[in-house]
Amino acid sequence: MRGVATEEHVPHTMSRMGDVLAGFHAAWEFESDSVLIRYERGIRTPKLFQALGERRVPYAAIGAVTLTPGKRGTVALRIEPRDGADPLLEAAAGQLKESGDPYRLVLPAERETLAEYYGDELRAQLTESGPAEEFLVGAPEVPMHFKAYDAKATFDGNIVRFRWFWTGASSAKWKAGDQSFPVAELSGVEWRSPEVFEGHLRLLRRDSADGQPAQADQDPAAVVFGLGYGPVHESLPFAAAVLSAVRRSGPVAAVPASAPRRDPADIAERIRHLGELHEAGLVTDEEFSSKKAELLAEL
């Protein structure tokens, strides 16, 4: 029988399999070689957690374990996967909000002693450090699909397909036609969160010439996000699954979230468009200031 850990029920060793530490939105089950994270289902549980269902994190994939104070009388126990060990975090490239971190277990502050105990026990299991040479955490299962603003994206494990929507796709994409990309022809994936301006998912091709890539709304190898299109819980697992498949097929390029430098005229045009969104009430004052500063930094 599995035991749910409480202050009165503290196991003597991590090798005691089946012990469960339950927090808000998730429970961690400690096994002999890994932590199995099971996410709750419910309207208050982040959609990304529900989409993932569960994550098995081998101890070999963990670089560190931290315990920090949380908000409103809570503490947060967090697993920090090693760089390159998890395709989900690799695809996210640091863009996930704290509340959407699948490896952060939030507990009531009165359970801090228990959380500290399990944190220490986890650290005792860690034998690896530094970047991982391969993905050690499994990728989200395929087949997968989601609707972007300008296309429907599907992935069956071998081929990524984009089918353009006439209501959103640019003339350049219509001219190129619907696209199919075997993973063997890809070198990486660029995911820019739909929660920021210019969110998109771009496939990087092995045969692409070096240089500044086309804007996502003009690139047939990219789909763009919009309000309600390509949400994190759909597009990020999709990107992670593609990235994992690409890694299995050969060397992969991990792309940072930052955008390449652009022509000043293009920056000015995008700031003008951002201002229109701001005036229309579609972008908050804070979002406008932040994105404007980000665009100016690209000059």
Residue 46 has pLDDT above 70, yes or no: yes
Residue 131 within any structural domain of the chain = no
CATH value at residue 108: 2.30.29
Confidence band, pLDDT 50/70/90 cuts, at residue 10: very low
* Residues 164 and 224 grouped into a single domain: yes
**pTM for this entry:** 0.79
Task: Give the per-residue pLDDT at 7.
Answer: 47
Residue 110 within any structural domain of the chain = yes
Residue 14 has pLDDT above 60, yes or no: no
Residue 225 within any structural domain of the chain = yes
Task: Give the per-residue pLDDT at 16.
Answer: 52
Residue 65 within any structural domain of the chain = yes
Query: Which one has a higher pLDDT value, 114 or 299?
Result: 114
* Residues 198 and 283 grouped into a single domain: no
Confidence band, pLDDT 50/70/90 cuts, at residue 1: very low
* Residues 121 and 159 grouped into a single domain: no
Token pair in block for residue 20: 């469960």
Residue 12 within any structural domain of the chain = no
Confidence band, pLDDT 50/70/90 cuts, at residue 263: low
Residue 69 has pLDDT above 80, yes or no: yes
Residue 65 has pLDDT above 50, yes or no: yes
Of 78, 97, 125, the residue at which a domain comes to its end is 125
* Residues 114 and 148 grouped into a single domain: no
Residue 75 has pLDDT above 90, yes or no: yes
Q: What is the pLDDT of residues 269-292, one digit of tens each?
A: 667 667 766 776 766 787 778 777
* Residues 189 and 249 grouped into a single domain: yes
Alpha-carbon torsion (7, 9, 15, 18), positive or negative: negative
Q: What is the mean pLDDT of residues 214-240?
A: 95
* Residues 169 and 243 grouped into a single domain: yes
Q: What percent of the chain has pLDDT over 90?
A: 68
Alpha-carbon torsion (79, 84, 89, 95), positive or negative: positive
Confidence band, pLDDT 50/70/90 cuts, at residue 264: low
* Residues 65 and 88 grouped into a single domain: yes
Task: Give the per-residue pLDDT at 8.
Answer: 46
Domain count along the chain: 3
Q: Please report how many Cα atoms fall inside a 13 Å half-sphere around the Cα of residue 207, on the Cβ side.
A: 6
Q: What is the pLDDT of residues 168-207, one digit of tens each?
A: 999 999 999 999 999 999 999 999 999 988 999 999 998 8
Which range (15-24, 30-39, 94-103) has the least confidence? 15-24
Q: 112: domain range? A: 20-125
Task: Give the per-residue pLDDT at 15.
Answer: 44
* Residues 235 and 275 grouped into a single domain: no
Residue 3 within any structural domain of the chain = no
Residue 112 within any structural domain of the chain = yes
Residue 12 has pLDDT above 60, yes or no: no
Mean residue pLDDT across the chain:
87
* Residues 242 and 272 grouped into a single domain: no
Q: Please report how many Cα atoms fall inside a 13 Å half-sphere around the Cα of residue 111, on the Cβ side.
A: 22
* Residues 116 and 149 grouped into a single domain: no
Q: What is the mean pLDDT of residues 138-149?
A: 96
Q: Please report how many Cα atoms fall inside a 13 Å half-sphere around the Cα of residue 201, on the Cβ side.
A: 33
Task: Give the per-residue pLDDT at 277.
Answer: 67
* Residues 224 and 274 grouped into a single domain: no
* Residues 232 and 199 grouped into a single domain: yes
Residue 134 within any structural domain of the chain = no
Residue 242 has pLDDT above 90, yes or no: yes
137: nearest Cα among 263, 231, 262, 36: 36
Query: Which one has a higher pLDDT value, 53 or 297?
Result: 53
Residue 214 has pLDDT above 80, yes or no: yes
